Structure 1
Amino acid sequence: MSNGNEKVCAIVRGALGSNNMDFEESEIQHATKFTAKSGAQVASLNVYNSGKLHVEGKESPLKVWLTQVKESIEKGAGGPVVLLPAEIEKFPQTLRERVPDCDDVVLWFFQEALRCYKADSVAGAAFMLGAASEKAIHLLIDAYGDAITVAANMESFRSRVNQKMISRKYDEFKASYAGCKSKPTDPILSQDLTQLLDAAFTFYRYTRNAVGHPQIIPDLDKGVVLANLGQFIVYIERIYGLIRHFQQNGVVV
């Protein structure tokens, strides 16, 4: 759970991700800090639990851009630039370019989410995005289990995740991964599991359940769903980075 306001954090992640910004996310007192980098430029955008936003860093074009992000969110626009239809159309191509081995099922549901969004079906987009996320997390967990180097530990892990709902399966994966002795040293992959992946997985699962369990009319913000369509590309990129690490280095638990 982020220290910052969850809804605003989701919008910021989406804005940074859809603009291919190199960024890291960390928790500070009463806030979530998004530190962005562009060449030698570094600036940060802090999202407080109250929803307040604050930009930090030396004067630079990057800081100006983050200030535009801040002002746009405060005005309710959801990001620094309203994505044009042509830009949204490029999302599947961008995903293929950044993750060439992306699973066809993940890609199909992602494309369906975009079709729903363009048809002004926000609930449909949220549901399809949640399905794409669930498939990707299944692939991540399966790759982790297959890469466990000790047969007895592999079978024990598989028995714990077998035939469980995705949220329980993910919790079992996180618990096992916490004790993993062969974690990646790449700062992006080593930090994102408990930051970007956790937050994104929770958002995609929550919004899918809000649509798929018809107790109440879901309260879905179109701007947040759009932001997380853009964020999905970074999310899948990180998942496949972890999958490749497990396959190449094995899993020691």
Structure 2
Amino acid sequence: MTNDNWNISLEKMMEAGVHFGHQARKWNPKMAPYICTERKGIHIIHIIQTARLLHEACEFSTNAASKGKQFLLVGTRYQTAGLIAAAAKKGRCHYVNRKWLGGMLTNWTTIESRLKRFKQLEEQEKNDLFNKLPKKEAAILKTQLNQLRKYLNGIKYMTKIPDVVILIDQHQDTTAIQECIKLGIPTIGLVDTDCDPSLVDMPIPANDDTKTSIEWILNKLIIAIQKGHQRRDKFSKTRR
């Protein structure tokens, strides 16, 4: 089975291990509609359901991107930090891949002030101003810059709360999910068999533990976002 629009192949999904869930004893009963069987104590995800919901998420993402909506990609597990950053840059998305700072969305004015400080320090570094300061003062500023760069680099150009948030690990980033719920921000989320699919607006049942599975799902979403950007860029050119 291959989808004409997004090339969502069940065979490729299985090769990527998208269908492997968690141990059956750790399951969340709300995931029952997305589980097809159990093998050796491991739940197997119904990938036809995954394909259907991924298609819907891709359609939504293309439509949102074509309207200029801003996406935030969240995945703070250490093992996938590089994957998140690469995917976000490819899709022209903002991202958080280190640590979710409490209030990153619900206390946006504070984050804005930190981003302003971040840009100020980067400008000082660029103009070699640190080397003109006493060593102790320069060291304090460099430490501050490194901390801001570590946690805020992926949202450096974010000027407002994002329109859509894509979440890779529900258990790792519960605070991010709760902030999105509070603010009514639409969410797309990978949900493994131990997750609660009701916490995100567009759940995608999939293995959220292996890089191959996460990368496969993310790639489809990023292609969808890119398609939306292309539509918007083409429309802008025709209006000139």
* TM-score band w.r.t. shorter chain: under 0.3
TM-score (norm 1): 0.27
Higher helix proportion (structure 1 or 2): 1
Look at both structures and tell me which one has the larger radius of gyration over its CA atoms. 2
Question: What is the TM-score of this pair, normalised by structure 2?
Answer: 0.28
